[in-house]
Structure 1
Amino acid sequence: MKKILVLGGTRFFGQKLVELLLEQKHEVTIVTRGVSENPFGDAVEHIKVDRKDKAAFEQALESRTFDIVYDNICYSPNEAKQLCDIFNGNIGKLVFTSTLATYEADGKLHEEVDFDPTSYEIVMGETHEFSYGEGKRLAEAVFYRFADFPVVAVRFPIVMGADDYTRRLHFHIERIVNNEPIGFSNMDAEMSFIQATEAARFLMWAGMENVEGPINATANGVIALKDLISLIEEKTGERAKIALLGTEEIRSPYAIPASWYMKNDKSQQLGFKFSHIDDWLPQLVEEIAKSTPKQ
């Protein structure tokens, strides 16, 4: 049994991670601002504190030790540095949820060496000062510069699930069901994805196994945006209305200029077995489509 801290563990794949850890009888502590409900009750220790309140965050975790810390909600170099300051000497390992957005959407099939955080110039700052991808790049760079504990930076593509609070896949299904236009820039662009439960399984595996450094985690296979739209049309029985980009209101969250995907060879060589996107995406689209009312 390990002592584990999870930052960002009350919804979507973070919640699924905590559920898996509890199934394995680990001692789990979660940290939240107290805005989201604790779905685990007394099965976890629940610390209510806002990590952006540096003094309160440090006080809440002062002198605490953990075998593994999972940080699903670090988006800036300042937050990464704060975590190092608090936990240096006190934890066995950090698993940091990073992103495909550390790589450019440039049509290239990306592997881990395409972004080296150890040689990246660090600029400190808060979340609002950077794009999502830049904030994650800088957070990785800070962890690999200042942490005295092993760090795994898990680079996920967009995570999909029926309970995805960002509702990015839902956006497409809802607009197609209701005959509303969707804006794209390149329908031939291909993307990587991962399913939420698999993302949670990967995080648990990355914490428990002898894994360090940046690592890509994505389902096998890719899908072109035009094929994703065709799949949604098939499952909904409706035809999509496609526009060239258009306004922010209609623009797809997947409106990328070129293919955006990555290899998972490193993860598979280390022993993790991924699903294929065809194993679950059609069923997921169908599940969401069935619960989407026509307005």
Structure 2
Amino acid sequence: MKKVLILGGTRFFGKRLVQYLLQEGKSEITVATRGNTPLPFGEEVRHLIVDREVDEQLRAAAEKEEWDIVYDNICYSPDAAMDAVKLFDGRTKKYVFTSSLSVYDAGVKDALEEEDFDPSTYGIQHGRHDRFTYQEGKRQAEAVFMQQASFPVVCVRIPIVLGTDDYTKRLHFHVERVREGRPIGMPNLNARMGFIHSEEAARFLAWAGASNITGPVNAASQHTISLGELMDLIESKTGKKAQLTKEVGEDSASPFGVEDSWFMNTNKAAEAGFEFDNLNEWLPKLIDQLALD
């Protein structure tokens, strides 16, 4: 049995990852969280109360075992990454860092590739997450892992994750507003986006931990969708006309309201053996589910 540590695993795709690994039955799983959310896994999973940002607490988690795989879903700054690099030195065979599509700027080009942001040459700063934007925090964390870690690291770049269990309710926002006839602010309906389902994200993270893949790797469902096509789909599922506006107010702003296309090329992962789901198959079904709620 592999000894697996998951930093952050009680919500959304972190929770899905635990469930996926339990179903596989090949791992002894330990989840480390601050304890704010009850652990819904019973006695099958060991729970450690750990504040990821407190060096001594993370050290205690690191020293519990010799870990085969560490999954880090809650690293948002260079200093947090430096803590991990130091504390897991000699204590893990593989480190899976959940990064983000956000390391790339939107509109630079279609089908962003791993080489379009190179963390191995990126200048490292110091600070916790409150010093950086989300984008810069993830860039900095990748740079630390790629330049300073003594153990193999894969930086999984994930786009917006969708699912019925999305506590941020980003897709729900659009379905509810169309159903209620409320305005949605979108600056560019022609902008194309990629997404990943929460179950697929969990499956990918599990694969990334078990495979030999290292370095930055993009993860997203096959195919993309324009925001206009997305709204057409929601209209067809709700039977209502979307009230779209380019005037983006604080209340009406779409969580998907990018000004330019923003999606990734996933050839690296596909060529390494991972089979992504088809966005055109699962997204309509998900919208169906949300429209019925």
- TM-score normalised according to structure 1 size: 0.96
SS of equivalent to 1:242: strand
Q: How does 1:52-67 map to 2 (within 5 A)?
A: 52-62=53-63, 64-67=65-68
* Aligned partner letter, 2:58: F
Q: Give the C-alpha shift of residue 60 in structure 1.
A: 4.1
Give deviations 1:206-245, integer Å, cap 9, x for gaps: 1001111100011110000001011001101111111224
Aligned length: 291
> Distance between the aligned counterparts of 1:90 and 1:245, measured in 2?
52
Q: 2:132 aligns with which of 130, 133, 136?
A: 130
Q: 2:123 aligns with which of 111, 121, 137?
A: 121
In structure 2, the partner of 1:88 is: 89
Q: Does 1:175 align with 2:157?
A: no
In structure 2, the partner of 1:155 is: 157
In structure 2, the partner of 1:10 is: 10
Percent of residue pairs identical: 49
RMSD: 1.1
In structure 1, the partner of 2:191 is: 189
> Distance between the aligned counterparts of 1:52 and 1:114, measured in 2?
29
Runs of 4+ aligned residues of structure 1 deviating over 4 Å after TM superposition are none
- TM-score normalised according to structure 2 size: 0.97
Q: Give the C-alpha shift of residue 107 in structure 1.
A: 5.0
In structure 1, the partner of 2:46 is: 45
> Distance between the aligned counterparts of 1:63 and 1:275, measured in 2?
36
Give deviations 1:268-294, integer Å, cap 9, x for gaps: 100001111111000000101100xxx
SS of equivalent to 2:207: helix
SS of equivalent to 1:154: strand
SS of equivalent to 2:10: coil
Q: CA separation of 1:199/1:60 partners in 2, compared to 1, >3 Å: closer, same or farther?
A: closer
Q: Give the C-alpha shift of residue 164 in structure 1.
A: 0.4
Q: Give the C-alpha shift of residue 55 in structure 1.
A: 2.5
- For structure 1, the residue ranges without an aligned partner over 5 or more in a row are none
* Aligned partner letter, 2:60: Q
In structure 2, the partner of 1:234 is: 236
Tell whether the 8 Å contact from 1:245 to 1:255 is kept in structure 2 after alignment: no
> Distance between the aligned counterparts of 1:153 and 1:121, measured in 2?
17
